Structure 1
Amino acid sequence: MPSFIRRSALRLAIGLGAAAAFNFAAAQGSAPANLNVGATATGIPFTFLDIKSNSIQGMMVDTVQAVGKAGGFQTTIQQTAFAALIPSLTSSKIDVISAAMLKTAARQQVVDFSEPVYSYGEGLMVKADDNRNYPTLDELKGEVVGAQVGTIFVDMLQKKGIFKEVRTYDSVADMSRDLALGRIKAAVGDQPIMVYQISQKAFQGVKMANGYKSTNVSDVCLIVRKGDTETLNRINKAIATIKADGTLAQITKKWGI
């Protein structure tokens, strides 16, 4: 074969290879290789600050890291106050929320939710010496009750309109202390978080209310900016993978939920 033909063939092969590489990269989309993930320090066992490692740990941290591994992207966990999670996401300070934040219609107007990774409802916490049965929140009519700021439970209590006062707290731990001191009659919050903390003896002088059943059950998901369909699709495919191969089930078992 003449040398000029060989050179032409080589140039053609290089050009086709470059085009194929470009098309492959385009097919993968432009989603970032690293996603900044907002998580709270007060939502044990979902998210919490591990003092030994000075890092955020928990079920939702393990979940988003497993999703990242399955989806082919890195995750950087950033400690963020619960009430600041959505503002941080919409202002692009973070790319994903991975926390015990329940899916609601109001939140769906602002952000996009992934496929569910867990579901739960509200729990009712009372003083340890309160042996009354509380089948519903109606039993607390005229009382002072508490809920964590930024959660759906604040609106839930306020909309009922039967309480003397609905006090808000920065964390479930702060709320449990006021409850133990008798400053509020009962506290409403994330049922798994309350149960876990009480079982670990992190909350003193309180217990879960007798006979109470959750009425506001919703999904826990990973959350992205409104309209970020590329990141959402990658996350949803990865969630399907970790559900199918048993990784998600192992994570929830590890954290006792």
Structure 2
Amino acid sequence: MLVRRAILALAGLALALSPVSAQQTMRVGSTPTGIPFTFLDTASNQIQGVMVDIVTAIGKDAGFEVKIEPMQFSTLISSLTSSRIDLIAAAMYITDARKQVVDFSEPIYTYGDGLFVPKTDTKAYKDLADLKGMVVGVQLGTAFVEPLQKSGLFAEVKLYDTIPDIMRDVNAGRIKAGFADGPIVAYNLQQGRFPEVHLVKGYKPMVVGSVGIGTRKTDPDLLKRVNVALAKLKADGTIKKILVKWGLEE
């Protein structure tokens, strides 16, 4: 009996140490409407994009698989802190306010907000003051909401769940202007979406920030693994290749 128990124990230990069982699966929160960072590819019905490629490459180097969980941008942090997901991979700025709640990897890509208006509006907007009195739109949960609301310049700051929703209302003339992640707006327009909208080239972004992978504050070891892998991927050119693949530059 003792011998049998010893054999079973050794077998269990071998299974536990096997590469298959050691491979973890991390649930990764991503948004379906943040092209080219994250978006739903209708052909495959899978979330794809820059951040999906990057977190997948990080997982491969760090020894874990990823399972992408689609969700609204505004629910990403609460989903992470409540352990519905294990990582955030989306177009989410690393901000001081967010760092009070979750941890972030080293920065991956830096950009600012873009201002978009109807194509018929050719005014050379430079900053928020040039849009005084307008009804404008912004995505709920983004770093752009607070400065717009606190400016006191606008007749109304309408909150939207997704960037395409804002662009759709600008396209239809329901609001005068929208603010969102510059690369996401540009990519949508390059793809021929929202033909009655244009990105204001001379506008100076009100917020410039960097995106990173989000982790729980209770998972410092996971954050370390992510950063070690990310450093390798930056050094060997993998991150640059992913950015170029999706039409972005470092």
**TM-score of the aligned structures, taking structure 1 as reference length:** 0.86
Alignment match of 1:237 (pick from 221, 228, 235): 228
1:217 matched residue in structure 2: 208
Asked if structure 1 preserves the Cα contact closer than 8 Å seen for 2:31 and 2:73, the reply is yes
Which string of whole-angstrom CA distances, capped at 9 and with x for unpartnered residues, describes residues 139-197 of structure 1? 01111111011111111200111111100111111111111222211100000000000
Contact 1:153 1:189 in 2 (8 A): yes
What secondary structure, in the 3-state scheme, does the structure 2 residue paired with 1:121 have? strand
Aligned-partner Cα distance in 2 for 1:92–1:73: 17
Aligned partners of 1:230, 1:44: CA distance in 2, in Å?
30
Q: Which amino acid aligns with 2:179?
A: V
Q: 2:93 touches 2:210 (CA, 8 Å); kept in 1?
A: yes
Return the match for 2:196 from 197, 202, 205. 205
Question: More deviation in 218-227 or 230-239?
Answer: 218-227
1:72 corresponds to: 63
Counterpart Cα distance in 1 of 2:54 and 2:170: 32
Task: Give the conservation status (yes or no) of the 8 Å contact 1:132–1:210.
Answer: no
Measured after TM superposition, the shift of residue 73 of structure 1 is: 1.2
What letter matches 1:193 in structure 2? I
Secondary structure of the residue that 1:168 maps to in structure 2?
strand
Identical columns (%): 52
SS in 2 for 1:74: strand
In the alignment, structure 2 segments of 5+ residues that lack a partner are: 1-9
Hey, what's the Cα distance between the residues in 2 that align with 1:203 and 1:70?
Answer: 39
Partner of 2:134: 143
5 Å matches for 1:1-257?
Answer: 33-257=24-248
In structure 2, relative to structure 1, the CA distance for the partners of 1:48 and 1:219 (3 Å cut) is same
Partner of 1:7: none
3-state secondary structure, aligned to 2:144: helix
Count of equivalent residues: 231
Segments of 5+ residues of structure 1 without an aligned counterpart are 1-17, 26-30
Q: SS of the counterpart of 1:239?
A: helix
CA RMSD of aligned residues (A): 1.7
Q: Which whole-Å CA distance do the structure 2 matches of 1:226 and 1:121 have between them?
A: 26
Q: Is the 8 A contact 2:23 2:63 kept in 1?
A: no
Letter in 2 for 1:70: D
Deviation at 1:204?
A: 2.4
| Deviation of the 1:32 alpha carbon | 7.4
- Please give the alpha-carbon distance, in whole angstroms, between the structure 2 residues aligned to 1:237 and 1:80: 27
1:88 maps to amino acid: S
Secondary structure, aligned partner of 2:232: helix
Letter of the aligned partner of 2:210 in structure 1? D
Moved over 2 A (4+): none
8 Å Cα contact 1:119/1:218 also seen in 2: yes
Greater Cα radius of gyration, structure 1 or 2: 1
